[in-house]
Amino acid sequence: MLTSNQLEELQQYDTPTIANAIERFNVRSKTEGFFSSEIKCILPADKPFIGYVCTAKVSANKPATNAQKSMLLDYYKQIKLTPNPTMMVIQDMDPSSIGSFWGEVNVSIHKALGCVGVITNGGVRDLDEVVRLGFGYFASCILVSHANIHLEDYNCPVNVGGLKIEPGDLVHADKHGAIVIPNEIAPELAKACRKVIDAEKPVILGCRKHFDKCDVKIDDLKVWREEMEKRRVK
């Protein structure tokens, strides 16, 4: 588990930088580990969200059974047991999302339990109220109703945005989308982010000197890119 200082440090970097830094460790394919474009940032936020995953499955097509209704308090207890900050990852089991589990009431409850945001293939609502709460909304759509929304399972593996997510995974999310941080490299990731930024400086700073006249030389671009690649492999 990362310390609060380590988590806060990772919040200083956007998800593209996090993604580039993870690549340095060669722990997974460059095409894996991030949520698909189905998952969108619904509300603006000043900085990225990061948290340990708590999971659930929901449905809204049919009314809940008595057994499903009885899950809710145990589900809340599970969130409280998950290390803070917590990020919910919720799988909507309906073929087409019709009811939202997420609105002002449920967000208030989850935030009081230490949750900072949700990632779901379903929908969200109460946008004006929730944006004031500073809660992260990452979803496939915006919905009007809660319909017959209820829990079907919790603290279980889920499939959201093309990823299989397990309770306890570490997730980082911002305006670009969301990505899973492998726990085994998490303590070294901030240092890798700094190296990513440093590696790109030759190209970025070199080009900025030519923004006004657009007179950059191709030979200079070649040199800057070679330096960038050299720094990337260090």
User: So what's the pLDDT on residue 233?
Assistant: 86
**Rounded distance between C-alpha atoms, residue 180 and residue 53, angstroms:** 10
Sign (positive or negative) of CA dihedral 106, 112, 114, 116: positive
Encode pLDDT of 84-124 as tens digits.
Answer: 999 999 999 999 999 999 999 999 999 999 999 999 999 99
Encode pLDDT of 143-190 as tens digits.
Answer: 999 999 999 999 999 999 999 999 999 999 999 999 999 999 999 999
Torsion of CA 86, 162, 68, 173, to 10 degrees: 20
What Cα–Cα distance (Å) separates residue 185 from each residue in 10, 51, 83, 131, 210?
12, 15, 18, 32, 38
Encode pLDDT of 124-145 as tens digits.
Answer: 999 999 999 999 999 999 999 9
Please give the angle made by the CA atoms of 185, 190 and 194, to the nearest 5 degrees.
125
Encode pLDDT of 22-48 as tens digits.
Answer: 999 999 999 999 999 999 999 989 999
User: So what's the pLDDT on residue 120?
Assistant: 98
* Location of structure tokens 């708590």: 54
Share of the chain above pLDDT 70, in %: 100
**Rounded distance between C-alpha atoms, residue 193 and residue 20, angstroms:** 8
Question: Could you tell me the pTM of the whole model?
Answer: 0.95
User: So what's the pLDDT on residue 215?
Assistant: 95
* Location of structure tokens 């809940």: 64
